[in-house]
Amino acid sequence: MKLGIVGLPNVGKSTLFNSLTKAGAESANYPFCTIDPNVGIVTVPDERLNLLADMYHSAKVTPAVIEFVDIAGLVKGASKGEGLGNQFLANIREVDAIVHVVRCFEDTNVIHVDGSVDPTRDIDTINLELIFSDIEILERRIAKSSRGARNDKKLAKEVDFLQRLKAYLEEGNLAIGFELQDEDEEAWFAEYNLLTAKPVIYAANVSEDDLADDGASNAYVQAVRDFAAKNGSEVFVICAQIEQEISELDEDERKMFLEDLGLKESGLEKLIKASYSLLGLISYLTAGETETRAWTIKKGTKAPQAAGKIHSDFERGFIRAEVVNYQDLLDCGSYSAAKEKGLVGLEGKDYVVKDGDVVLFRFNV
């Protein structure tokens, strides 16, 4: 899963990104090593892994990971090519979801590009650039398809769809709110890969004082919440500066530091959870002596496709899956004990994998 961090200059994107990468770089094994300076890998905290690894005496624990991309340089006029604008927009096209950082902190030392703190205006500025870019894509499609549409009913239907979608965006709406009428429209919509069709998490960047009550007394945060509620998006409150400080602590210090601030978890953990739920993701687990590992899948994924996450051969040659809930497994103390109690299910290709399933795939090579 790949998340892109966007927002106006000076709202705290790099600060957040640096704290994410710092935390990521220090945590356990992940299957990537060299990373682009604008791409950071963050592991998904998952207590279940360590418990299973203890039981199996696993040599290695590999958590699920999320990739973050720092998409700096999105400014007013980006869609018209200002400040390398189009290049940044192309980067956004590749992500699964967007983290939109919004400045909700006052600080006279940090200049705001538009002279004042105003979350709604800032969100509109960024979203408009994304909308302009999407409209351009739709216009190109319309130009390409219109000629053939005279003799092709399907193409004519698509042109009509394109025009309605374009009109919707021209009213300042995000594509994600557009109601799709049938399967054709769903397929076309997915194919266009519009920027404003991507799910968004709004990260309200507040000062340290606003953290304890989750920004409840901060009117800027309220403005972000109002906006997000209208668009069915999630909001989470962070203080990027504090995240950066937290990322430099070791685990024990981190716990104490958070307790002092009256917090249960770091903003980073909140962000990861929010993105998991936003994208409808869950983790299933594999466990053994060599490695205990979490794998990210979409909710509703069936066993063969889940197996394909590990290796395409697993999907192609899928025979069945042996499945046990991780808690049942821990309670029994061993795989064989769980099996004796009848808690290990033999599942076929229609089985929908659940969060916390410990799975052993059987397959033909």
Beta bridge partners of 6: 100
Q: Is 175 exposed, middle or buried (0-12, 13-18, 19+ CB in 10 A)?
A: buried
Q: Nearest 5°: phi and psi at 67?
A: -100, 130
Q: Please report whether residue 105 would count as binding ligand GDP according to CB under 6 A.
A: yes
268-293 burial code (b ≥16 CB/10 A, e <16): bbbbbebbbebbebbbbbbbbeeebb
Q: How far is the CB of 267 from ligand GDP (least distance, A)?
A: 10
In angstroms, rounded to a whole number, what is the distance separating the alpha carbons of residues 300 and 167?
A: 34
- What is the distance between the alpha carbons of residues 360 and 336, in angstroms, rounded to a whole number? 13
Give the C-alpha separation, 202 to 233, whole Å: 7
* Interacting residue with ligand GDP among 44, 95, 239, 329 (CB under 6 A): 239
Q: Does 125 bind ligand GDP (CB under 6 A)?
A: no
Task: Tell me if residue 340 falls in helix, strand or coil.
Answer: helix
Instruction: Give dist(CA 307, CA 291) in Å, integer.
Output: 16
CB of 13 to ligand GDP, least distance (A): 3
The Cα 64–Cα 46 span in angstroms is 8
**221 is annotated as contributing to ligand binding:** no
Rank residues 194 and 268 by Cβ distance to ligand GDP and give the closer one: 268
Contact between 204 and ligand GDP per CB under 6 A: no
Position 205 contacts ligand GDP (CB under 6 A): yes
Q: Look up tokens 């979203």; give the residue.
A: 127
In the complex with ligand GDP, which residue's Cβ is closer, 10 or 312? 10
CB of residue 258 to ligand GDP, shortest distance in Å: 16
Q: Does 74 bind ligand GDP (CB under 6 A)?
A: no
Distance between CA atoms of residues 162 and 192, nearest Å: 10
Question: Of the candidates 94, 107, 186, 213, which one interacts with ligand GDP according to CB under 6 A?
Answer: 107
State the residue for tokens 């716990």: 255
> Tell me, what amino acid is at 82?
E
CA distance 84 to 50: 44
Minimum CB separation of residue 256 from ligand GDP in Å reads 21
**Are the beta carbons of 231 and 124 closer than 8 angstroms?**
no
From 164-172, 234-242, 272-280, 352-360, give the range in contact with ligand GDP by CB under 6 A: 234-242
Q: Which stretch binds ligand GDP (CB under 6 A): 233-241, 260-268, 289-297, 313-321?
A: 233-241
Interface pick for ligand GDP out of 14, 222, 231, 325 (rule CB under 6 A): 14
Question: Could you say which of 1, 3, 4, 12 contacts ligand GDP (CB under 6 A)?
Answer: 12
- As beta bridge partners, residue 324 has 358
Which of these ranges, 146-154, 238-246, 314-322, 347-355, lies near ligand GDP under the rule CB under 6 A? 238-246
Q: Give least dist CB 85 to ligand GDP, A.
A: 15
Amino acid letter, residue 79:
S
**In sequence order, which ranges of 27-111 are alpha helices (DSSP H)?**
47-56, 85-93
Q: How far is the CB of 106 from ligand GDP (least distance, A)?
A: 8
Q: In the numeric block, which tokens belong to residue 30?
A: 């992940």
* Binding of residue 241 to ligand GDP (CB under 6 A): yes
Size of the site for ligand GDP (CB under 6 A): 17
Q: Which segment (10-18, 56-64, 83-91, 346-354) binds ligand GDP by CB under 6 A? A: 10-18
| By the rule CB under 6 A, 123 interacts with ligand GDP | no
Establish if 10 lies at the interface with ligand GDP (CB under 6 A).
Answer: yes
Question: Min. distance of Cβ 9 from ligand GDP in angstroms?
Answer: 4
- Per the annotation, does 15 bind a ligand? yes
Which residue, 282, 276, 285, is CA-closest to 299?
A: 282
Residue 60 CA, chain-centre distance (Å), reads 26
Q: Does 166 bind ligand GDP (CB under 6 A)?
A: no
Q: Does residue 207 touch ligand GDP according to CB under 6 A?
A: yes
Would you say 12 is a known binding-site residue? yes
Interface positions with ligand GDP (CB under 6 A) = 7, 9-15, 72, 105, 107, 110, 205, 207, 239-241
